[in-house]
Amino acid sequence: MPQKTKKTPMMEQYLRVKQQYPDAFLFYRLGDFYEMFYDDAIKGAQILELTLTTRNKNAAEKIPMCGVPHHAAQNYIDTLVDQGYKVAICEQMEDPKLAKGMVKREVIQVVTPGTITDTGAKEAKENNYLTAIHQQADHFGFAYADLSTGELKSAILDSPEVLLNELLSLRTKEVVIDDSVTEKALTVIDPLKIMISHQDNCQISAETSYAMQDIHSDLEQAVLSHLLTYLIRTQKRSLGHLQKAVHYEPSDFLKIDHASSRNLELLQNNRTGKKHGTLLWLLDQTKTAMGGRMLKQWLERPLLVIKKIKLRQARVKDLLDHYFERSELRDELTQVYDLERLAGKVALGTVNGRDLLQLKQSLQQIPKIRYLLTTIDDGSFKKLLTKIDPVAEVVDLIDRAIVDDPPMSVTDGNLIKEGFDQELDKYKDAMKNGKRWLAKLEADERQATGINNLKIGFNRVFGYYIEVSKANLSKLPPDRYQRKQTLTNAERFITPELKEKEDLILGAENKAVDLEYRLFVDLREQIKDYIKRLQQLAASVAVLDVLQSFAVVSEQQHFVLPELTKKHEIEISAGWHPVVQEVMGQQSYVPNDIRMPENLNILLITGPNMSGKSTYMRQLAQTVVLTQIGCFVPAKKAKLPIFDQIFTRIGAADDLIGGQSTFMVEMQEANQALKHATQNSLILFDEIGRGTATYDGMALAQAIIEYVHDVIHAKTLFSTHYHELTSLDQNLKQLANVHVGAIEKNGTLTFLHRVEAGPADKSYGIHVAKLAGMPDKLLQRAAKLLADLEIQAHSSSQTKASLHENSSPKPEDQQLSLFVPEQVPLSNQQQQVIGEIKQADLVSMTPLAALNQLFKWQKELKQK
Ligand SMILES: Nc1ncnc2c1ncn2[C@@H]1O[C@H](COP(=O)(O)OP(=O)(O)OP(=O)(O)O)[C@@H](O)[C@H]1O
């Protein structure tokens, strides 16, 4: 930290600015470098691998310093932001050569993880959401924005769990809070390791009021105003492309909590964390980045309203029925760039000539796309067609102004077409004439001197010059040439008339470059007026792209149009798990039926390990999701109701919140379902109870099944290895057994992967252990123990009441162990200690007294 010694005016200025941005690295522009000082420098040098120096080596206070060249700053900024830091960019606001006294400097932007707009090609199909929270009692105003696309949404969330779910599914990197957010709520956010930024005082401007126009609740207005204030404070530029905030209700969509979405591998592969091997991966045949992002959003929020689902289905069907037009449409879409982000760049002022050409090229595809869509349309695309607007005015503006091959930079000229602006044409003419004059001068001089290799050149230091090789110097007339520079083999000269022309040419060039920049900015401002139309077009193209992607996948994968029913029944013939089949190949996959008529709510699935129970369960969930996003589904025939929520408890999920045992996570996930599921939900429970002792687990599993059966009535698939549970079908009318078949022959097991009615006859766990390559000796021992246990179970079952008739397992049965310890009777001493422990009044004991007591008991036991 800076000490209290006298500072130079520049360091005083630095500290004044830094004080306003204590949570960001301050990149302080000094000539061609951005410099960091003090702690920023120490930490920055370490992260960015820069050399740490000191600013004033000889002074008493040494100021740590490091810097990056301004032209390479972007990479360094990206690295810092990627690692979860903010960077405040402080620029020189005047030309140092012209400044009187200290050069004026200002922070022009704070780059933060949630506000990056240039996410690069790798993340083109990802949104980068900045989120915000405002709390009132147990309710949260919640909002999110993607600065690169202008999307802005808000909602009221009524519990910390829903909040956590929204934050997780949006994969936000930064959340803005104000002081309404309680410590308790922060403990929900903390483990997610996202950046928490604070914004307390809200400023309402014309821009922010516009964005909040359609939002009426106080809670959402509060959260939007601090989100928008934060954006204005960090971006310090126009946010004109932010769309009007749209209110959404999480309950308007099929609810799949984050754990279930992970279990089902909708967007993320559980093993690799990547897209490969997920439903998103299978479905993504989109051709545009906008379509890619939209597909993800649809997968995250499947629909509930039959009418909306049917509209998507009808559109997919129209696209499916028109193979050739669809292929052409796909070709056209390939040539559409990211309109949404291009519009964002126009608004943010970061667009360059090449971006504008991409915008023009994309818009030029639209009439053809429109035409193709009208030929495909059988009525379903009527409304979408009205929004596919080619914004011809923008094409015309760009076409008239921008050359066909503009440079990256917008400040170096060569951007604007001839004929666009008279004044610019004049300068360009002057430049051209000047150059023609130079060419003529070169020819004349060659003739006059007889030096054939005499040439006219240009460099930044001397301007235009005449170059003559040393061998020819003697041929030059003595007075006319003024020597300027000597090279090894040549001399360079100027003449008064050459200097005069040079002023004209260079003057025209500078003026042309300045004017081109002004014309470019002007054009950018004109295009800004069309941003809303461009955004509407982008959203419609994105929708079309996702729909064509559904059509392509449905065709390639032989999906069928599912029938939506208002009855509480599921009927799937020859269905399959689309991702597993895609990975393993169609030949080897065994399709299966799922039949759950109105009077059957629970399927209890048994079968060996590895036989396909989880796959069967996930297959149903993925089919439900596919149905409710409007896609066709993997089956020969499918009839499904609309589900409101999907709950899963499958596999050993990692514990996101941290520190809980697998069994605890298992119980929490099951509890989520039991608490929130309705009759219209889908529940998948995979081997509930296996995380604890056998009878404990079995008892819990039975109680859960009974609860779902009697209280919730949701369609439920429940897989289990507890064969005892299969007799539940005798008492529970809405439960049926199915099993996944396997054949055992000569001690080897063949999985059939076919789901059939009735319970499995045994578990085959030892066969699977054999498949896993366990030692023979161990397997023989296990087989022997199993046989003994089965005999014991058989004899005790004759006397014991059956488990589902409310018998509770005896405590000594609770933990089955392969290696039962020898039973040794307790000593008197031990019994006495146990007695004392039972008696001890722990509530009124101080921690120290308890510790002393424990110490005493331990000593007594050791004395035994
Ligand atoms: N219908 C099917 N046709 C062909 N192969 C299948 C089918 N279903 C599953 N499989 C294959 O069997 C493997 C195991 O499936 P799955 O994980 O669903 O078994 P499981 O019965 O749930 O096992 P466990 O009880 O050990 O959890 C899958 O990875 C897949 O390769």
pLDDT digits (tens, 9 = 90+) for 276-289: 999 999 999 999 99
Task: Let me know: does 647 contact 666? Beta carbons within 8 Å.
Answer: no
Distance of CA 811 to the CA centre of its chain: 49
Which one of 577, 579, 609, 610 would you pick to mutate in the ligand 1 pocket, going by the greatest count of ligand atoms within 8 A of its CB? 610
Ligand 1 midpoint to CA 671 (Å): 26
Q: What angle do CA 358, 551, 260 make, to 5 degrees?
A: 95
- How confident is residue 796, by pLDDT bands cut at 50, 70 and 90? low
Which one of 265, 271, 572, 580 would you pick to mutate in the ligand 1 pocket, going by the greatest count of ligand atoms within 8 A of its CB? 580
Helix (H) or strand (E) holding 53: strand 53-54
Q: Is the pLDDT of residue 398 over 70?
A: yes
Task: Let me know: does 662 contact 273? Beta carbons within 8 Å.
Answer: no
Q: Is the pLDDT of residue 797 over 80?
A: no
Rounded-to-integer distance, Cα 238 and Cα 225, Å: 16
Residue nearest to ligand 1 atom 11, measured at CA: 612
Mean pLDDT of the chain: 87
Percent of the chain past pLDDT 70, that is, above it, reads 92
pLDDT digits (tens, 9 = 90+) for 568-625: 999 999 999 999 999 888 778 999 999 999 999 999 999 888 889 999 999 999 999 9
Per-residue model confidence (pLDDT) at position 779: 76
Ligand 1 midpoint to CA 576 (Å): 12
Stronger pLDDT, 301 or 795, i.e. the higher one: 301
Q: Is the pLDDT of residue 516 over 70?
A: yes
Going across the sheet that includes 463-469, the strands are 455-459, 463-469, 490-494, 482-486
* Close Cβ partners of 158 (under 8 Å, ≥ 6 residues apart): 138, 139, 140
Q: What angle do CA 540, 542, 334 make, to 5 degrees?
A: 120
Pocket of ligand 1 contains residue 448 by CB under 6 Å: no
Rounded-to-integer distance, Cα 112 and Cα 129, Å: 11
Ligand 1 midpoint to CA 614 (Å): 6
- Ligand 1 atom nearest to CA at 607: 21
Residue nearest to ligand 1 atom 1, measured at CA: 590
Pocket of ligand 1 contains residue 579 by CB under 6 Å: no
Question: pTM for this structure?
Answer: 0.80
The token pair at 22 is 């204590």
Pocket of ligand 1 contains residue 739 by CB under 6 Å: no
- Ligand 1 atom nearest to CA at 584: 31
Pocket of ligand 1 contains residue 611 by CB under 6 Å: yes
Rounded-to-integer distance, Cα 93 and Cα 87, Å: 18
HSE (side-chain half, CA atoms, 13 Å) at 602: 28
What value does the mean pLDDT take over residues 314-329?
96
503: phi then psi, degrees, rounded to nearest 5? -55, -45
Which one of 263, 582, 609, 611 would you pick to mutate in the ligand 1 pocket, going by the greatest count of ligand atoms within 8 A of its CB? 611
Residues in the chain: 864
Region class of 450: left (phi > 0), else alpha (psi between -120 and 50), else beta: left
Q: Which residues of 317-330 are buried (b: 16+ CB within 10 A; e: fewer)?
A: bbbbebeebbebbb
Per-residue model confidence (pLDDT) at position 210: 83
Residue nearest to ligand 1 atom 23, measured at CA: 610
Per-residue model confidence (pLDDT) at position 800: 43
Per-residue model confidence (pLDDT) at position 119: 62
Q: Among 39-43, 411-415, 549-553, 706-710, where is mean pLDDT lowest? A: 411-415
- How confident is residue 220, by pLDDT bands cut at 50, 70 and 90? very high
Rounded-to-integer distance, Cα 411 and Cα 163, Å: 45
The alpha-carbon radius of gyration of the chain (Å, integer) is 37
Residue nearest to ligand 1 atom 16, measured at CA: 612
- How confident is residue 338, by pLDDT bands cut at 50, 70 and 90? very high
Residue nearest to ligand 1 atom 30, measured at CA: 612
136: phi then psi, degrees, rounded to nearest 5? -140, 110
What value does the mean pLDDT take over residues 129-155?
94
- How confident is residue 120, by pLDDT bands cut at 50, 70 and 90? low
What are the start-end ranges of the E strands in 93-191? 105-111, 130-136, 139-146, 151-157, 174-177
Task: Let me know: does 643 contact 677? Beta carbons within 8 Å.
Answer: no
Question: Among candidates 414, 422, 436, which has minimal Cα distance to 501?
Answer: 436
Pocket of ligand 1 contains residue 610 by CB under 6 Å: yes
Task: Let me know: does 255 contact 645? Beta carbons within 8 Å.
Answer: yes
Q: Among 218-222, 250-254, 655-659, where is mean pLDDT lowest? A: 655-659
Pocket of ligand 1 contains residue 581 by CB under 6 Å: no
Ligand 1 midpoint to CA 733 (Å): 28
* Close Cβ partners of 507 (under 8 Å, ≥ 6 residues apart): none
pLDDT digits (tens, 9 = 90+) for 682-695: 999 998 877 666 67
pLDDT digits (tens, 9 = 90+) for 236-262: 887 778 889 999 998 899 999 888 888
Q: Is the pLDDT of residue 207 over 50?
A: yes
Q: What angle do CA 652, 653, 655 make, to 5 degrees?
A: 125
Ligand 1 midpoint to CA 590 (Å): 10
Q: What angle do CA 47, 51, 54 make, to 5 degrees?
A: 115
Residue nearest to ligand 1 atom 18, measured at CA: 612
* Close Cβ partners of 392 (under 8 Å, ≥ 6 residues apart): 363
Pocket of ligand 1 contains residue 609 by CB under 6 Å: yes
Q: What is the DSSP letter of 87?
A: E
What value does the mean pLDDT take over residues 628-644?
97
Q: What is the DSSP letter of 708?
A: I
Ligand 1 midpoint to CA 615 (Å): 5
3-state secondary structure of 692: coil
> Residue 255 to residues 258, 260, 361: CA-CA distances in angstroms?
9, 10, 39
Per-residue model confidence (pLDDT) at position 278: 94
Rounded-to-integer distance, Cα 663 and Cα 813, Å: 19
pLDDT digits (tens, 9 = 90+) for 347-377: 888 899 999 999 999 999 999 999 999 999 9
Ligand 1 midpoint to CA 528 (Å): 54
- Ligand 1 atom nearest to CA at 611: 21
Pocket of ligand 1 contains residue 403 by CB under 6 Å: no
Rounded-to-integer distance, Cα 410 and Cα 499, Å: 29
Ligand 1 midpoint to CA 667 (Å): 24
What value does the mean pLDDT take over residues 515-530?
95
Rounded-to-integer distance, Cα 261 and Cα 739, Å: 26
- Ligand 1 atom nearest to CA at 721: 25
What value does the mean pLDDT take over residues 45-49?
93
- How confident is residue 190, by pLDDT bands cut at 50, 70 and 90? confident
What single string gives the DSSP state of each residue in 504-572? HHHHHHHHHHHHHHHHHHHHHHHHHTTHHHHHHHHHHHHHHHHHHHHHHHHHHTT-BPPEE-SSS-EEE
Ligand 1 midpoint to CA 612 (Å): 3
User: Is 612 known to sit in a ligand binding site?
Assistant: yes
Ligand 1 midpoint to CA 610 (Å): 5
Stronger pLDDT, 753 or 59, i.e. the higher one: 753
What value does the mean pLDDT take over residues 50-79?
87
Q: Is the pLDDT of residue 818 over 60?
A: no
Helix axes 339-348 and 531-556, enclosed angle (nearest 10) = 160
Q: What angle do CA 436, 440, 444 make, to 5 degrees?
A: 170
Rounded-to-integer distance, Cα 151 and Cα 526, Å: 22
Rounded-to-integer distance, Cα 774 and Cα 752, Å: 23
Residue nearest to ligand 1 atom 8, measured at CA: 612
Pocket of ligand 1 contains residue 149 by CB under 6 Å: no
Q: Is the pLDDT of residue 216 over 70?
A: yes
- Ligand 1 atom nearest to CA at 618: 18
Q: Is the pLDDT of residue 20 over 70?
A: yes
* Close Cβ partners of 530 (under 8 Å, ≥ 6 residues apart): 391, 393, 394
Residue with tokens 């001839």: 418
User: Is 613 known to sit in a ligand binding site?
Assistant: yes
Rounded-to-integer distance, Cα 290 and Cα 292, Å: 5
What value does the mean pLDDT take over residues 23-35?
94
3-state secondary structure of 474: helix
- Ligand 1 atom nearest to CA at 615: 18
- How confident is residue 762, by pLDDT bands cut at 50, 70 and 90? low
Residue nearest to ligand 1 atom 14, measured at CA: 610
Query: Can you say whether the dihedral through the CA atoms of 170, 176, 182, 186 is positive or negative?
Result: positive
Per-residue model confidence (pLDDT) at position 169: 85
**Single-letter code of the amino acid located at 202:** C
Pocket of ligand 1 contains residue 613 by CB under 6 Å: yes
What single string gives the DSSP state of each residue in 9-42? HHHHHHHHHHHH-TTEEEEEEETTEEEEEHHHHH
Could you give the residue ranges of the DSSP H alpha helices within 716-827? 765-771, 776-799
Ligand 1 midpoint to CA 592 (Å): 12
* Close Cβ partners of 675 (under 8 Å, ≥ 6 residues apart): none
Pocket of ligand 1 contains residue 614 by CB under 6 Å: yes
Per-residue model confidence (pLDDT) at position 804: 40
pLDDT digits (tens, 9 = 90+) for 460-512: 778 899 999 999 988 888 777 888 889 999 999 998 888 888 888 888 888 99
Pocket of ligand 1 contains residue 580 by CB under 6 Å: yes
Distance of CA 170 to the CA centre of its chain: 6
* Close Cβ partners of 722 (under 8 Å, ≥ 6 residues apart): 689, 697, 698, 701
Q: What angle do CA 372, 373, 375 make, to 5 degrees?
A: 70
Task: Let me know: does 787 contact 678? Beta carbons within 8 Å.
Answer: no
Residue nearest to ligand 1 atom 24, measured at CA: 609
Rounded-to-integer distance, Cα 254 and Cα 300, Å: 9
Q: Are strands 570-575 and 592-596 parallel, antiparallel or unpaired?
A: antiparallel
Pocket of ligand 1 contains residue 606 by CB under 6 Å: no
Ligand 1 midpoint to CA 16 (Å): 64
Task: Let me know: does 558 contact 320? Beta carbons within 8 Å.
Answer: no
Percent of the chain past pLDDT 90, that is, above it, reads 56
User: Is 608 known to sit in a ligand binding site?
Assistant: yes
- Ligand 1 atom nearest to CA at 590: 3
Residue nearest to ligand 1 atom 4, measured at CA: 589
User: Is 352 known to sit in a ligand binding site?
Assistant: no
Ligand 1 midpoint to CA 611 (Å): 5
Pocket of ligand 1 contains residue 524 by CB under 6 Å: no
Task: Let me know: does 35 contact 50? Beta carbons within 8 Å.
Answer: no
Q: Are strands 53-54 and 64-69 parallel, antiparallel or unpaired?
A: antiparallel
User: Is 609 known to sit in a ligand binding site?
Assistant: yes
- How confident is residue 824, by pLDDT bands cut at 50, 70 and 90? low
232: phi then psi, degrees, rounded to nearest 5? -65, -40
Pocket of ligand 1 contains residue 590 by CB under 6 Å: yes
Q: What angle do CA 794, 795, 799 make, to 5 degrees?
A: 110
Ligand 1 midpoint to CA 654 (Å): 21
